[in-house]
């Protein structure tokens, strides 16, 4: 098991390794496996990249993100400009049905709503908007459309985890309640926890995932 100082060293190395993260602007503290990120970044994409980088590090149990997004003057955009750019991006994305996503922009913060069929579509909307100039944050309230579920959802998710060589596949308990999947067990990293949740969401008809997986170093 890593000490906090060893974990901090690994986190700093991962931040430095990721080309999307201006690591010199990110402060790091670690307490009992919980990593706190501090500082100011110029884009929301950098903030997300820094968070994802920390989640990849084995031994990190949780991440507290206290990073502010402060766009450079050259990157600042009005809410109207951000909304118009986001609408155009949605129109050009063939995986997002026209009119299925609504957005509101206030002080650079984008709030999303609507109904989609798949979680990958919901993630695609976020990925499109995340790197846009002037965006400081995203709130995603997009819902997934409920459809009839096959009776073997749990076994399908388990098989997907094994196919994808997820190390903790055999240590994950999967249960269903209507269209909600519940995950329990232990994993080796937050990134693995997120990957398992993604596999659960890839099943048609799953509208929510309750992720109770614990990270153990």
For the stretch 172-210, pLDDT in tens is 888 888 888 899 998 888 988 898 898 888 887 788 999
pLDDT tops 80 at residue 167: no
Residue with tokens 């609507």: 114
Q: Give the range of the structural domain holding residue 195, as residue numbers without chain letter.
A: 153-215
Distances (CA, A) of 141 to 78, 133, 162: 22, 22, 31
Q: How do 180-187 and 208-215 pair as beta strands?
A: parallel
- Give the pLDDT score at 78: 96
The total number of structural domains that make up the chain:
3
| Statement to judge: residues 10 and 65 lie in one domain | yes
Distance between CA atoms of 127 and 149, rounded to whole angstroms? 28
pLDDT tops 90 at residue 7: yes
Q: Which carries the bigger pLDDT value, residue 9 or residue 76? A: 9
- Give the pLDDT score at 23: 66
* CATH number of the domain encompassing residue 18: 3.30.1340.30
- Give the pLDDT score at 72: 84
| Statement to judge: residues 62 and 80 lie in one domain | no
Choosing from 17, 47, 69, the residue where a domain stops is 69
| Statement to judge: residues 20 and 80 lie in one domain | no
| Statement to judge: residues 139 and 159 lie in one domain | no
User: In the structure encoding, which two tokens stand for residue 67, read together?
Assistant: 């990073």
- Give the pLDDT score at 179: 84
Q: What are 68-102's pLDDT values in tens digits? A: 999 887 778 999 999 999 999 999 999 999 999 99
Distance between CA atoms of 161 and 195, rounded to whole angstroms? 9
| Statement to judge: residues 49 and 98 lie in one domain | no
DSSP string, 89-145: HHHH-TTS-TT-EEEEEETTEEEEEEEES-HHHHHHHHHHHTTSTT--EEEE-PEEP
pLDDT tops 60 at residue 152: yes
Q: How confident is the model at residue 142 (pLDDT cuts 50, 70, 90)?
A: very high
- Give the pLDDT score at 11: 96
Percent share of the chain, pLDDT over 90 = 64
| Statement to judge: residues 136 and 159 lie in one domain | no
Residue with tokens 């073997």: 152
Q: What are 102-136's pLDDT values in tens digits? A: 999 999 999 999 999 999 999 999 999 999 999 99
For the chain, the first-to-last Cα distance in angstroms comes to 6
| Statement to judge: residues 55 and 86 lie in one domain | no
- Give the pLDDT score at 171: 79
| Statement to judge: residues 80 and 113 lie in one domain | yes
Helix (H, G, I), strand (E, B) or coil at 149: coil
- Give the pLDDT score at 165: 57
Distance between CA atoms of 155 and 164, rounded to whole angstroms? 14
| Statement to judge: residues 8 and 57 lie in one domain | yes
Choosing from 25, 43, 69, the residue where a domain stops is 69
| Statement to judge: residues 91 and 140 lie in one domain | yes
| Statement to judge: residues 139 and 171 lie in one domain | no
- Give the pLDDT score at 43: 94
Q: Which carries the bigger pLDDT value, residue 195 or residue 168? A: 195
**Whole-model pTM?**
0.82
| Statement to judge: residues 105 and 127 lie in one domain | yes
DSSP string, 50-97: HHHHHHTSTT--EEEEEEEE---GGG---HHHHHHHHHHHHHH-TTS-
Give φ, ψ of 96 to 5 degrees. Answer: -110, 115
């Amino acid at each position: 098991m890593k000490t906090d100082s060893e974990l901090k060293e690994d986190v700093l190395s991962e931040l430095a390794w990721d080309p999307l993260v201006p690591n010199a602007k990110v402060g790091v503290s670690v307490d009992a496996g919980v990593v706190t990120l501090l500082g100011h970044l110029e884009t929301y994409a950098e903030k997300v990249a820094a968070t994802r980088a920390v989640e990849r590090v084995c031994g990190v149990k949780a991440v507290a993100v206290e990073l502010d997004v402060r766009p450079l003057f050259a990157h600042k955009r009005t809410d109207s400009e951000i909304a118009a750019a986001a609408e155009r991006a949605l129109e050009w994305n063939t995986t997002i049905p026209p009119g299925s996503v609504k957005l509101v922009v206030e002080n650079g913060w984008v709030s999303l709503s609507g109904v989609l069929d798949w979680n990958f579509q919901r993630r695609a909307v976020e990925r499109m908007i995340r790197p846009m100039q002037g965006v400081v944050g995203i709130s995603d309230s997009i819902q997934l459309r409920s459809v009839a579920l096959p009776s073997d959802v749990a076994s399908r998710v388990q098989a997907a985890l094994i196919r994808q060589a997820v190390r903790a596949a055999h240590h994950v308990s999967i249960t269903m309640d209507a269209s909600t999947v519940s995950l329990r067990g232990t994993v080796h990293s937050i990134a693995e926890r997120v990957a398992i949740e993604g596999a659960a969401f890839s099943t048609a008809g799953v509208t929510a995932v309750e992720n109770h997986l614990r990270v153990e170093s």
